[in-house]
């Protein structure tokens, strides 16, 4: 799933930066974010050191911010900050006793609103999707993701193409039910961690080079 996430993200970002009229590139790109949310949850569940995992995610978010801004000419916080907030939320919820479920719910709402206030990429939608992958197994995640898309679409909070992101959750559910031997190989750790800031930096250099007439 890592390869699929990276490739579809690259297609999405190239479309955003250089081929804005080619809508199908953005449609393909909708596959990436749900996979990143899912892999965040998997990474959290499997990591041997949550603190290192958190610090590494924070480092990637910080290193990516200026390339993100210059690549797309926007001032929002990049999507890794959304993932980081989701990770911190999962850590906090797991430390709250189950009998205090209402506190976990209120905390989730607060973090989702915080993501909106901070203008992180995908905002509250991203936080909700992370929680879906955290607590809804298999095809239940597909159903809840569909409901989430409908709610945000009716509320005018998502673009119409975001509905295509359900394809990613369906692929995840299929993979979860498939034998281990049929699953896609993982990307090298160094590539997976470096891909987001590195490809944004390259896009930013090209965009700025074009803007100032160097390319």
Say how far apart CA 213 and CA 215 lie, in whole Å: 5
For the segment 54-74, the average pLDDT, to the nearest whole number, is 96
Name the band, by pLDDT with cuts 50, 70 and 90, for residue 98: confident
Residues in the chain: 215
Q: Report pLDDT for 99.
A: 86
For the segment 170-191, the average pLDDT, to the nearest whole number, is 83
Name the band, by pLDDT with cuts 50, 70 and 90, for residue 182: low
Q: Report pLDDT for 183.
A: 67
127, 112 contact by CB (below 8 A): yes
**And the tokens for 65?**
């911010």
Whole-model pTM? 0.93
Going from N- to C-terminal start, the domains of the chain cover: 2-211
Region of poorest pLDDT, from 99-103, 113-117, 158-162: 158-162
Q: Is 120 in a helix, a strand, or coil?
A: strand
Q: Report pLDDT for 157.
A: 76
Q: Report pLDDT for 159.
A: 78
């Amino acid at each position: 799933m890592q390869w699929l996430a990276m490739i579809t993200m690259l297609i999405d970002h190239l479309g955003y930066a250089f081929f804005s009229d080619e809508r199908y590139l953005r449609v393909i790109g909708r596959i990436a974010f749900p996979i990143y949310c899912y892999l965040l949850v998997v990474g959290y569940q499997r990591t041997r050191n949550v603190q290192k995992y958190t610090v590494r995610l924070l480092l990637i978010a910080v290193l990516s911010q200026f390339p993100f801004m210059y690549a797309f000419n926007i001032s929002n916080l990049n999507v890794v900050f959304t993932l980081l907030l989701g990770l911190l939320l999962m850590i906090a919820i797991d430390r709250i006793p189950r009998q205090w479920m209402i506190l976990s719910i209120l905390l989730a709402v607060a973090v989702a609103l915080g993501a909106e206030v901070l203008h992180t990429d995908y905002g509250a939608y991203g936080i909700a999707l992370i929680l879906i992958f955290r607590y809804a197994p298999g095809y239940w995640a597909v159903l809840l993701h569909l409901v989430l898309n409908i709610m945000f679409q009716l509320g005018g909070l998502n673009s119409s193409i975001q509905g295509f992101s359900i394809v990613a959750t369906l692929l995840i559910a299929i993979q979860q039910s498939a034998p281990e031997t049929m699953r896609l190989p993982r990307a090298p750790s160094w590539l997976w961690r470096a891909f987001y800031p590195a490809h944004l930096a390259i896009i930013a250099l090209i965009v700025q080079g074009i803007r100032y007439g160097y390319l």
